[in-house]
Amino acid sequence: MVKILSTRYGKSSGFKLLLAFSVIILILALCPQFLPRFFVYLLALILISGLQATSLNVALGYGGMYQFHHAVFFGIGAYTVSIMLMKTNLPPALSFLAGPMVAAMLGFIMGLICVRLSKLYFGMLQLSLGSLVWIVVFRWYSFTGGDDGLHGVPVPALISSVNGSYYFALITSIVSLFMMYVILNSPFGRILQAIRDNPERSEGVGVRVKLHQLVTQVIAAFFAGVAGVLFVTVEGSAFPDLLSWTLSLEFIIMCLLGGWFTFLGPMLGAAIIVSLRTLVGVYTEYWTFALAVILMLLIFFLPEGVLGYFQRFSQVPDHSPAEDK
Amino acid sequence: MDFSTSITFNGLIQQFLIGLSRTTILFIVSSGLSLVLGVLRIPNVAHGSLYMLGAFLCYTIASFLGASSLGFWLAILLAPLVVALVSLAVERGLFCHLYDREHLMLLLFTFALMLIFGDIVKAVWGSEYRSLSPPEVFQGSLSILGMPFPKYNLFLLCVGPLVALALWFLTQKTKIGKIARAAAVDRDMVAAVGINVSWVFASVFVIGCYLAGLGGALVAPTQNISQGMDHTIIMEAFLIVIIGGLGNVWGALLGALIFGLTASMGILVWPQFSIVFPYAAVVIVLVFRPKGLLKATW
């Protein structure tokens, strides 16, 4: 981690950044000691949405793939762990591992079909496959509970309390974020960004574009599955809305708001949107109206997102696409 | 998993006709979406909201004008026009500044519009169900091969081909249709020969949205008018446009036929999962022809 940060930002600022992150993590770890229960719950939701948005951004911001229906992997992760906990006697740890694995498998299958095309066609294809999964989950009453969803999932006692689930979400998302960061800064991640900036030229120098996109899809789906599992530990339920297309678009908005060419942007975007939803939701039922206005302002005035906007003015090298397209 | 074994010929015909009348609505809505997608290249997520708006407006205008059948016909006529006006304002006010942006941005922008329209409908009409009865001429049902069939659906079956014919005439025979098709291929070149492309785009957008409103107004007497109509129809319309080929109006017709008929036939085979059939059909089509059945315009 230090090595990657140091090579990217210079030795001293690499350590400074690591120090800053350690302080943030320490503060987050101490939060349950002095914050009311509701805010701890809210923080856990932010972490989960942030993890989900970051996993989306691996494909969307770094891979340049129009991942229109990323919520499917989130929902499948959540459903897998719920169904395994409720209907089988397998050890819980196995169920928690199965969530991301099944999501990754689904990502692989959908990826095989989708990566044949690119850009808008890719997104549309994913949308149609994802809605097939959604409608099956929505209708299969005997297995998934249909539109009622599954409630009262028997999550192990250790991680089902508010603080327990918070710490579980915190640790898991930090580990996942770290893994995604390493992946994106590996040669693989560099190639991925090259593909985003110029697929034809990448193909020309011998990169196997489709294979890289497929692997990216699997990675993104895996971490989305992790986020889905975390969601079940916090909420104790899974319902078809987790796979809905509008939720997918909401995650895309998080990426966009935070800055989709930055690593931590989606996390920031998730924090802003989840807290705003709670805050605005207190005063009015028209929360989506506020979201829409934010989105419109964003598209008109801040297309690079909050973090991207600040990065442009600092000297930090960023992940933005090359200018000459 | 009880497959119903008693599929009779008459039942088959009845489901076929019901599927066809559903196809009509789907075709009207998705052809509008396809038009906008093909010419302006905007994946207009708010299209479904305009459909919902059309249905609610039709209900309100019809109940304002009284229960006479004249009120109903006026509502069918006026509601899409109001929707078209709204879309004109949106296009001139917001969209025309965004044409050079990426598809993703345009999609998210229309998503914002969808949220706003959804909230407006919630604020104006509330969240309870509304229903509208068809005019007296089309109330009740006919008996076709011994099976009852709603008269209003027969009316829908007549409207569908008319709309298709009108669209064909508009795109192939009129000047604006020809210009729009040219602009879909190369907008810079069209602008270079002295045509105001911005207004061509605006009119195509308005026609597309008019079709969404028309679909909504026509569907109003056949189902409950409620919030959430927009979510279902936009998903279906998008899938239809994708399997038909982006921007191809005939593709939209073909896609709507596949979607509508698999749904209604699916009821005979496996009622609980009937809604899954059209989605499965879409996936099967896309596995073999990922760019849609007919040629996309771009």
- Let me know if residue A160 belongs to a domain: yes
Residue A190 and residue A74 share a domain:
yes
- Let me know if residue A297 belongs to a domain: no
- Residue A252: list chain B partners with CB under 8 A: 104, 108
Give me the pLDDT at residue A324, please: 42
Residue B295 forms contact with A (CB below 8 Å): no
The conformation of residue A58, written as its DSSP 8-state character, comes to I
- Residue B276: list chain A partners with CB under 8 A: 132, 135-136, 139
Task: Give the confidence band of A325 by pLDDT, cuts at 50, 70, 90.
Answer: very low
Shortest CA distance from B273: residue in chain A? A139
Shortest CA distance from B43: residue in chain A? A120
Residue B282 forms contact with A (CB below 8 Å): yes
pLDDT in tens, A239-296: 888 888 888 988 998 888 888 888 888 999 999 889 888 888 888 778 888 888 888 8
- Provide the ipTM: 0.82
pLDDT in tens, B152-167: 888 888 888 898 899 8
Its pTM stands at 0.86
Residue A139 and residue A15 share a domain:
no
Task: Give the confidence band of A318 by pLDDT, cuts at 50, 70, 90.
Answer: low
pLDDT in tens, B88-118: 998 888 887 887 777 788 888 898 999 899 8
Q: Does position A86 have pLDDT exceeding 50, yes or no? A: yes
- Let me know if residue A278 belongs to a domain: no
pLDDT in tens, A47-70: 999 999 999 999 988 888 888 899
Q: Does position B1 have pLDDT exceeding 50, yes or no? A: no
Give me the pLDDT at residue B5, please: 52
Please count the structural domains in chain A.
2
Which domain does A181 fall in, by range?
A: 37-245
pLDDT in tens, A148-190: 888 888 888 777 788 888 888 999 999 999 999 999 999 999 9
By Cβ distance, the residue of A66, A139, A289 closest to B276 is A139
- Residue A120: list chain B partners with CB under 8 A: 43, 103, 246
Contacts of B280 (CB under 8 A, 6+ apart): A132, B262
Residue A38 forms contact with B (CB below 8 Å): no
Selected residue with higher pLDDT from B216 and A315: B216
Last residue of one domain, picked from the residues A245, A279, A296: A245
Task: Give the confidence band of A218 by pLDDT, cuts at 50, 70, 90.
Answer: very high
Last residue of one domain, picked from the residues A194, A210, A245: A245
Q: Give the integer Cα–Cα distance in Å for B40 and B27.
A: 19
- % residues pLDDT > 70 (chain A): 92
Are A125 and B286 a contacting pair at CB < 8 A? yes
DSSP string for A87-139 = H--S-HHHHHHHHHHHHHHHHHHHHHHHTTS-HHHHHHHHHHHHHHHHHHHHH
Are B275 and A139 a contacting pair at CB < 8 A? yes
Interfacial A residues in 40-99 facing B (CB < 8 Å):
66, 68
Q: Does position A317 have pLDDT exceeding 60, yes or no? A: no
- Let me know if residue A24 belongs to a domain: yes
Residue A232 and residue A86 share a domain:
yes
Residue with tokens 């979406």: B33
Task: Give the confidence band of A220 by pLDDT, cuts at 50, 70, 90.
Answer: very high
Q: Give the integer Cα–Cα distance in Å for B6 and A2.
A: 70
- Residue B105: list chain A partners with CB under 8 A: 299, 303
Residue A284 forms contact with B (CB below 8 Å): no
Residue A100 and residue A19 share a domain:
no
- Residue A70: list chain B partners with CB under 8 A: none
- Let me know if residue A287 belongs to a domain: no
Residue A297 forms contact with B (CB below 8 Å): no
- % residues pLDDT > 90 (chain B): 17
**Average pLDDT of the residues of chain A:** 85
Residue A30 and residue A175 share a domain:
no
